[in-house]
Structure 1
Amino acid sequence: MTSIRRGLEAAEHEARARRERGQVVVPDAVPGTYVTFESFPGIELALDSLDPRTGTTHPELRSVRVDEVDGQCVQWATVFVPEGTMSYFFKRLDEYLASADKNNPANRNLVDRVHAVRLASVEALWTDPATRFPAVDEQVWWELWLRRRDGAEPARLRAYADGVDMRVGSRALGFGTRTVVLVRTTARQLISALAVLDDIAELRGPHHRAEFLADEDAATQGGFIDDLARLVVPAGASAPAVCVVDTGVHRAHPLLNGSLEPRDCHVADPRWPAEFDDDGHGTRMAGLALYGDLAEAVNANSPVHLRHRLESLKLLPPPGFPDNEPHLYGAITAAGVAAVEIGGTRRRRAYSMAVTAVTPAPSPDGTGKPVSGKPTSWSASLDALAAGRGVVESGTGLTLLDEADPDAHRLFIVSAGNVTAFDHDHLARSDVEPVQDPAQAWNVLTVGAFTERDKFADSPAVYDGWSPLAPRGELSPFSRTSVSFGTRWPVKPEVVLEGGNVAESPDGSERHSVGALELLTTRAPMTRSTAGSSRQLTTAGATSAATAQAAHLAARITADYPALWPETVRGLIVHSAEWTPAMLARLEGMSKKRDKRVFLRRYGMGVPDLTRATRSAEDALTLITQETITPFRADKLGEIHFHDLPWPTDVLTDLGATAARLRVTLSYFIEPNPARRGWNGRYNYASHGLRFDVRRSTESDEEFHKRLNRKALDEGEKRPAPAGETGEWVFGPEARRTSGSLHTDIWTGTAAGLARRGVLAVYPVGGWWKERAARGRVDHDARYGLVVSISTPGVDTDIWTPVAQQVGVATTITT
């Protein structure tokens, strides 16, 4: 107890001496002492007793930090003690001493837990991991969390900063009882600030840079950009690229210019300028495509090694030029793609296209019949380009140029389009707003938006009391769906990524997009004359932002596994997707096929993840194969591929009734029927279709082969009775037979049941290649990527190693 008193006295004396030595006086600042209380190992402090809240002026708990020391947790609490109130603690120590001979001394809960007391250091107020604390003389950005007293806390901070070498951001964010301000200074300078300012509650590394930086002035943004630019290591010239198909990209941006060469800036019309973005949308997409959410990169304290590069294709005309004719978008896109690939055809790239056209809404007559989802000249052109064909549009349809080159297959990632009028029931609104042209294309990866942005600062004041519209993990209010499509048309979107949220007024009468609920990204200058002086960071949201992030993911996967085909990369992204808890809560209990169909056409397969797409944990195994199949021969169905999977049968059998999961994704590209009259039906539009099936645990290999070899392979005919089934598919064979060129499903059951399912078949179904009029295509080959994963969630069992030993390689990727 004596050491506690001495610590308090020494802290008060040193704090007073620092104030007297200080050269800066801040009006209205309360003099006092920051004191740190340290607990005994394994013991928690009596925090309530350290924060009495009695009287008008009293000690106040500011921050609490817990670290592990020698295997036990130690707690540090920092308390601001206004001058004249240290007597609060001295009185309790005196009361403890006076009753020390009793079984339960007064204030025992407070005193016996304290191991040491000292004048608080800057580190004591640091609530991020201790390993991230900056060097004492390093100029860095900090988040200063100020406790709210009278609303003048930022003004007092700026008054102090004016007298010392400290830079304060122009914007403050409010979070409950705290106000957060960005400050660029050193830890040593902050030591002096503690002697003068009573408002500091805690210190952190900048976490809220998106909210801060998007609205900061050009000078403040420039400091952050300079810091990050010094850390960025661009990918090499031969690395994969994301080609941003948009309004162009401002190539001179400091965070983009190292990854975008002048020769990689292209235009659909040679009259347009290539290296400037007059609208700004393309530059916002470029930042997300290159970095993902830029806020994460801005937080970096070590080199940022980029794995891919950028390309730009300006598809929309700049000011002063006529708008593109809507019916020519397919031809314009094809011409732009040709411009990109001249001289650089073999570079691996993903085309990121957040440009869509408005499509009609569902019929208002109550019939429920959709009027959307059908191919258009634009979506059919994308399907042809994805399949490696050149394309020219004519009055009767499309002309597919040359022979398809498998090595020229292209991955297009397209936004689902945005809802622009928001309802309180945003899901109902999204369900009747169909994805926009050309996002219904069969071969593209269509991206919708979800959101985890369920909190935002109450600054600026105009949004005080407003709340995010969508709950955490739900579909973003911006996202369109294919709920209104007929069953003959593909499921869109296939995946959803972060697209931000919408703010709703307290009375529910207004809803607006808010930058604090979006993602930080790069900004183009508004005019060429302001290119060197305007702000260079902003925010972006909706399905455009989600699409750019999906392209970022595709390029990262391609950089890790350059042998993967575009159709396989698309399949792997979808395969890595998982539904959020909010989405799963809606799926649970669904038994009707229609309800599950609505669920799938709203969320796709959920939110993809780079780690899941590129890595296998010990209790989760992913197998990838890429094959070529001949769907038709002489007007009849051609090959069936049976895959004997390198299953860890013994391991799974030993696990018995343990829960297990099997997931299968089949991805391929179709060729669209060149004749426009063939666009009304799925078997007339697509060159071919492929499906998968898995051997059931109750049937032999011979029975499985016979079941698939029967003549009823055409989905228009009656299928043979299925063998007995164990476990359960989420969507089942009927839902998997929807149109499109990507099919996926998830089976759950027991590990023992999964052990007997180690054979998978890929087989063809109808398409226009099979028709006599297209006899020249009957014997044509088609590629597919097949992704299969098994997992035993929550069970610490190594299922990866037995498979790696069986296939004889230390990877789960086979081509």
Structure 2
Amino acid sequence: MAQRDKTHLIVSDRCSTFDYAPVPGRGDAKVIPNPADRRAHGGSIRSGLETAEHDARARRERNPVIVPDAVPGTYVAFESFPGIELALNSLDPRTGSTHPELRSVRVDVVNGQRVETATVFVPEGTMGYFFGRLDEYLASVDKSAPNHRNLVDRIHAVRLASVEALWTDPITRFPDSDGSVWWEVWLRPRDGKELARLRAYADAGDAGMRVGRRALGFNTRTVVMVLATVQQLASAIEILDDIAELRSPIHRAEFLAEEDATTQSGFVRDLARLVVAAGPGAPAVCVMDTGVHRMHPLLDASLPPQDCHAADPRWSTEYDHDGHGTAMAGLALYGDLAEAMTTTGPITLRHGLESLTLLPPPGFPDNEPDLYGAITASGVAAVETVATRRRRAYSMAVTALTSEPPSADGVTESVLGKPTSWSASLDALAAGRGVIESETGLSLLGAAHPGAHRLFIVSAGNVETFDHDHLSRSDIEPVQDPAQAWNVLTVGAYTDLDTFLYPPGVYEGWSPLAQRGELSPFSRTSVAFNTKWPVKPEIVMEGGNVAESPDGTERHPVGALELLTTRAPDNRSTASSSRQLTTIGATSAATAQAAHLAARIMADYPSLWPEAVRGLIVHSAEWTPAMRAHVDRTSKKRDKRTVLRRYGMGVPDLTRATRSAGDSLTLIAQETITPFQGDKLREIHFHDLPWPTDVLADLGATPVQLRVTLSYFIEPNPARRGWNGRYNYASHGLRFDVRRPTESNDDFHKRLNLRALQEEEKRPTSAGDTGEWLFGPEAQRAPGSLHTDIWTGTASDLAQRGALAVYPVGGWWKEQAARDRVDHDARYALIVAINTPGVDTDIWTPVAQQVQVPTTITT
């Protein structure tokens, strides 16, 4: 393999834009079975609505609390037949100034089948919308296709919605205590006074109901913490029309960090003398954690006091109150600190550090839990106020459980991978949303700005219980919140640490649990996710191993199977005498190393967007032999995608991420597309890439590889009102396609774009594809905002594949056309690599000449 000593080639002015209309797809809609007796069914639904309206009115009259501007009405719960989806658009008509409105949707699994419960708020005087449709349905039941059958035939039952109906987390987690508990209350913005109405109700209602001081705003929801009993919230929805859904609050997971020192402080001083800190214009890794002990000899030159921040201004920024943040900082700055310790020459750093204390220090009460999304947004605002234009990668290994592992019957399957207020906040911040403080203290995420896009690198979270079959354990342990966020780079852990030594009698006879190159026993996965949700993690990095006893009955984390890093003192008074090195493992260590990699890419390619940096990291990842063995054992695309949900694309590499070679060429294109115009798709992009056509053609039947990665950021819509059509979580989606070897450019256009056809012209016969895609088109249709695939075929076929298309698919920007973002542009990064392994040829130089990159000749 040739030496990777050449830059990647950034391609511009090779993209053409065309008006776009998708080619009609094939596929039959799911047939909805007819109710056994449609007349009785329609009458039952009507009776349920009448009872719900009557009971709601009676409860309002008995409730003594009066809240000005509250709209009287009825919360109605519509339940689907098992295995049938409700017609959500028909439940949410959006006609007239006052109309029924869909507030939330929960999916439960009953006897192995999905059952939807949709909660609709029906303002007083608007129940006629449903009565009218039911009357027309009943008047036409003798027909084979009664009026409004798509709405009515899907509904199994209707009832007055209870607090449980507004609960969108798994129903098994609904509070069962009679006492006060914290709730995450999602309000539907109407006039800007919804939070004030909730506070007014809490003040006038039963004693003990409290509304949190901090709130977080999205496009269609405002989220706030409320301390209340079930009965207090049940009474609140009798009066308030603002409550859209209820969820359980988030609590952080415990950190894993060993504190045993592995070397003497003298080694630290020797290394510190060799380190040259990066300059003031360099990128940085912002460690979002427990603070960083900035006076550590290996960190102080790279972390000035003004770059230490806290999410809450009351918290100190001078110290690390737990030690975890300092351990993260050592790996984020140096990557492999153990390797740096063996260096004898100068070490010139390419990036610096920032610290953001995200978790409260001891002494600050936490009896009132805050929204972690709002805390994170406030912290990001504090960081960027000081250094607005600095390029940075945010590194976060703070995670929380979102749900228990799925049970055997899949009862919790429907919640795994769903967005939360925290994960949606990261998605919004990544997409360039800002933070605005209103007069009431409401913390809102402002309008998105492309120039403010951010790269967040988040740990997948750690497995707490280790089994001998650690892969099966990891497969049922879903990634923790907020690692399911679409726009973040989620990092799992693998390990190459398969040997360790201890003094005689200490762990004698014990052995590493995971084999070399395999998933770390600490790492969580998205194998248990519903296929609606993105693949997480996207990559894995070294996270250490676990030791297993000789009889296989015990398994423990040990420092010898972790990574060397910097250590904070136990307390301020012992800073001068404390050990300065420790070990760290699990997905925390993996995340810090991934952030180091991101900052190095930013230093080498200052013009790359965060979307491109994320894409390059994933694009550079490869499976180890141990991981690859799982792929090679199956030919089924579905099973390969299961492997993808465990390892992501494998282990990234700094050299592959930043350098091309004579036989390995990487092209990068950064473009902006307008996905929609009104409620229609608008543009398709065709990239006519500079291509080593002649060189590849000369190689003939030689096996070669093409790798394509498409990375972009979406804007989130986290309200749980279903996940299709106008209720899409993502603002938009993008997909890519590659010209096939026997296609002309004209035929390629016509295969994808209906607007490329002349009037009454038929589409050309689709050219057969050659070679083999690792995952295939289904992988591209998977959710998420990053898509990658690998094609293997002959060089002669690849010679004709130098054209790629990028085109939009649906999203809430399109389905909610009245919103002001409908005509907004969307950025993306397209990364294409050609690999000709084992062939002595130069594919880089002819392409470099086409993009007018000067080449050098060594004499």
**What TM-score results when the alignment is normalised by the length of structure 1?**
0.70
Return the match for 1:655 from 699, 706, 710: 699
- Which of 388, 392, 398 lines up with 1:349 in the alignment? 392
Asked whether 1:329 is paired with 2:372, we answer: yes
1:451–1:476 Cα contact (<8 Å) kept: yes
Of residues 281, 296, 299, the one that matches 2:342 is: 299
Letter matched to residue 576 of structure 1: S
Displacement of 1:778: 1.6
1:478 aligns to 2:522 (yes or no) = yes
Q: How many Å separate the matches in 2 of 1:272 and 1:214?
A: 24
Q: Deviations over 1:682-720 (max 9, x none)?
A: 96110000010001112221111011103899xxxxx99
In structure 1, what is the equivalent of residue 580 of structure 2?
Answer: 536
Closer, same or farther: CA 712–643 of 1 in aligned 2, 3 Å: closer
Shift of 1:278: 1.3
Cross-structure match for 2:595: 551
SS state at 1:263 partner: helix
1:631-661 CA distance string (max 9 Å, x none): 0012111111100111100100000010100
Provide the residue aligned with 2:473 in structure 1.
429
Q: What RMSD over aligned residues (CA atoms) do the two structures have, in Å?
A: 2.3
The counterpart of 2:333, out of the listed 264, 282, 290, is 290
- What amino acid is the match of 2:791? W
Letter in 2 for 1:667: S
Larger Rg: 1
8 A contact 1:488–1:682 mirrored in 2:
no
| Counterpart contact for 2:668–2:831, Cα < 8 Å | yes
Aligned twin of 1:795: 839
Distance in 1 of aligned mates of 2:429 and 2:504:
46
With over 3 angstroms needed to count, the CA separation of the structure-2 counterparts of 1:627 and 1:333, relative to structure 1, is: same
Give 2:633's aligned residue: 589
Taking the TM superposition and a 5 Å limit, the aligned residue runs for 1:238-387 are 238-323=281-366, 328-367=371-410, 369-387=413-431
Q: Distance in 2 between matches of 1:371 and 1:680?
A: 16
- Cα distance in 2 for partners of 1:324, 1:612 equals 48
CA distance in 2, matches of 1:811, 1:403: 43
The gaps in structure 2 that reach 5 residues or longer are: 1-257, 758-762
Equivalent residue number for residue 731 of structure 1: 775
Contact kept? 2:747, 2:764, Cα under 8 Å: no
Ranked by relative contact order (alpha carbons within 8 Å, sequence separation 6 or more), the top structure is 2
1:47-69, Cα deviation, whole Å (9 max, x unpaired): xxxxxxxxxxxxxxxxxxxxxxx
1:417 and 2:461 aligned = yes
Deviation, structure 1 residue 361: 3.0
Q: CA deviation at 1:459?
A: 2.8
Match of residue 523 from structure 1: 567
Residue 659 (structure 2) aligns with: 615
Give the superposition deviation at 1:365. 4.2
Aligned to 2:447: 403
C-alpha contact 1:316 1:323 (8 A) present in aligned 2: no
Query: What residue in structure 1 maps to residue 754 of structure 2?
Result: 710
Equivalent residue number for residue 694 of structure 1:
738
C-alpha separation in 2, matches of 1:563 and 1:280: 35
Kept in 1: contact 2:780–2:788 (CA 8 A): yes
CA distance in 2, matches of 1:503, 1:625: 45
Matches within 5 A, 1:710-789: 710=754, 723-789=767-833
User: Which position in structure 1 is the counterpart of 2:279?
Assistant: 236
**CA shift at 1:777, angstroms?**
1.5
Structure 2 vs 1, CA of residues 498 and 740 (structure 1 numbering), >3 Å: closer, same or farther?
Answer: same
Q: CA deviation at 1:675?
A: 4.3
- For 2:671, the equivalent position in structure 1 comes to 627
Superposition deviation, residue 307 in structure 1: 0.4
Q: Which letter does structure 1 place at the counterpart of 2:735?
A: R
Taking structure 2 as the reference length, the TM-score comes to 0.66
1:134 is aligned to: none
Aligned to 2:7: none
In the alignment, does 2:621 pair up with 1:577? yes
Specify whether residues 740 and 531 from structure 1 end up closer, same or farther in structure 2 by C-alpha distance, changes over 3 A only. same
Please give the secondary structure, in 2, of the residue aligned with 1:746: strand
Structure 1 CA distance, aligned partners of 2:603 and 2:469? 41
Deviations 1:14-38 (A, max 9, x none): xxxxxxxxxxxxxxxxxxxxxxxxx
- What's the % identity of the aligned pairs? 79
The separation in 1 between residues aligned to 2:854 and 2:749, in whole angstroms, is 31
Query: Residue in 2 aligned with 1:565?
Result: 609
In structure 1, the residue corresponding to 2:264 is in which secondary structure? helix
2:683 maps to 1:639: yes
For residues 112-133 of structure 1, give each alpha carbon's deviation from its aligned partner in whole angstroms, at most 9, with x where no partner exists: xxxxxxxxxxxxxxxxxxxxxx
Deviations 1:482-528 (A, max 9, x none): 00111111100000000000000000000001111111000001111
Q: How far is 1:572 from its partner?
A: 0.4
CA 442–326 in structure 1, closer or farther in 2 if over 3 Å, else same: farther
Aligned residue type for 2:318: E
- Give 1:351 shift: 0.2
SS across alignment from 2:339: helix
Q: Deviations over 1:360-384 (max 9, x none)?
A: 1343142473431000000000000
| Counterpart residue type for residue 433 of structure 2 | R
Q: CA separation of 1:480/1:216 partners in 2, compared to 1, >3 Å: closer, same or farther?
A: closer
Aligned equivalents of 1:681, 1:779: Cα separation in 2: 17
Which residue number in structure 2 is paired with residue 151 of structure 1? none
8 A Cα contact 1:384 1:400, kept in partner: no
Q: Secondary structure in 1 aligned to 2:683?
A: coil
Residue in 2 aligned with 1:33?
A: none
Instruction: Output the CA distance in 2 between the equivalents of 1:258 and 1:301.
Output: 19
Shift of 1:402: 3.6
C-alpha contact 1:374 1:679 (8 A) present in aligned 2? no
CA contact (8 A) 1:458 1:465 kept: no
- Match of 1:288, as an amino acid? L
Q: Does the CA contact (< 8 Å) of 2:495 and 2:516 recur in 1?
A: yes
- The aligned residue for residue 49 of structure 2 is none
Q: CA deviation at 1:249?
A: 0.2
Does structure 2 retain, via aligned residues, the 8 Å contact 1:683–1:766? no
